[in-house]
Amino acid sequence: MRALVLALALLIALVPAAQAQDDEARRTAREAYRRGEDAFARGEHELALALFRELYERTGHDAVRYNVGVCLEQLGRAREARVEFLAVAESEAVPAETRAQALEAAARVRARLAAIEVRGAPDAAGVTIDGVRVCALPCDELIDPGAHTIALDVPDGPSERIEIAAGATRTVELVVVAREVVPHPAPIPPASSGASLGPLTVIGASLVAIGAGGVIGFGVYTMDLKSRFDAMPTQPLADEGNTMAALTNASIGVLALGGALVLIDVILVATSGPPERAVSLEGGTLRVAF
């Protein structure tokens, strides 16, 4: 009842502020105020709150914010009510007596509130209470008693559900834990299903090198012996020349054999494919031979 009397008294403060408006505007404001007043008297505090907020948006008079605070207090929303009362207490647009009453009301609802101290990391991260952002780390806030969800307003931010009583103080620690980055292993290239060069290539290449070396070495020496024999024919030179010529011919054979082995291996690789799996159906069972 006392809150209702205070609300009625503020009607007197509202009317002078509307003197510069035309009669129609003043009449509309008074009617809106009366509708809010009647709803409050019937105990329809949600409706009264909506009407007084609409009136404040229309007139911008801080005196109406006192009525908004009274409605919020009746609805158990003490934190929001305190915000409205403090705004009226700091306003120069309302009488001193009204400011004093607003300051007294703010102290009254403060006693019904709880306090939380939110700490954590990273600094300046947004803090939400029941999904509404209210401050940034670190911060201290007054909240209505009861159950609340405190969270950091960051991707995958941590949260904590708390239950707090009027007059209590609670510290909530919320820290964003950095995710450990696990490197992805390098993909293993698939095994080649094709054939590769075999031992014939290795052996053939070795024979080609040996044969080429013999052809060059023995061939040059044979030509040198031929020149010396032509200049001064002797039997030892003839015998040695025949031996070197035979070794040269043998080197040519080794060279040809090595080349043939390499060619055979290349042909085998080109004509061979991945092994095929033998598939058969025996006794109603599918069998695959690898």
According to the model, what pLDDT value does residue 284 have?
A: 52
According to the model, what pLDDT value does residue 192 have?
A: 54
In this predicted model, what pLDDT tens digit does every residue of 51-84 receive, in sequence order?
999 999 988 889 999 999 999 999 999 999 999 9
**Which amino acid, residue 227?**
S
> Which pLDDT band holds residue 280 (cuts at 50, 70, 90)?
low
Could you tell me which residues come within 8 angstroms of residue 248 by beta carbon, excluding any fewer than 6 positions away?
214, 215, 218, 219, 222
According to the model, what pLDDT value does residue 117 have?
A: 94
Torsion angle in degrees (nearest 10) through CA of 191, 195, 199, 205: -110
b/e map 211-225, b = 16+ CB within 10 Å: bbebbeebbebbeeb
- For 132, phi then psi, to 5°, come to -110, 125
Name the strand (E) or helix (H) holding 290.
none
Kindly report the pTM of this predicted structure.
0.54
Could you tell me which residues come within 8 angstroms of residue 39 by beta carbon, excluding any fewer than 6 positions away?
45, 47, 48, 51
Tell me how far apart the alpha carbons of residues 193 and 138 are, in angstroms, rounded to a whole number. Answer: 63
According to the model, what pLDDT value does residue 151 have?
A: 95
> Which pLDDT band holds residue 266 (cuts at 50, 70, 90)?
confident
Name the strand (E) or helix (H) holding 163.
strand 159-164
According to the model, what pLDDT value does residue 209 have?
A: 83
The residue-averaged pLDDT of 156-176 equals 92
Tell me how far apart the alpha carbons of residues 83 and 86 are, in angstroms, rounded to a whole number. Answer: 5
Could you tell me which residues come within 8 angstroms of residue 59 by beta carbon, excluding any fewer than 6 positions away?
14, 17, 18, 29
Structure token digits, residue 74: 């009746």
Q: Cβ distance 152 to 159 under 8 Å?
A: yes
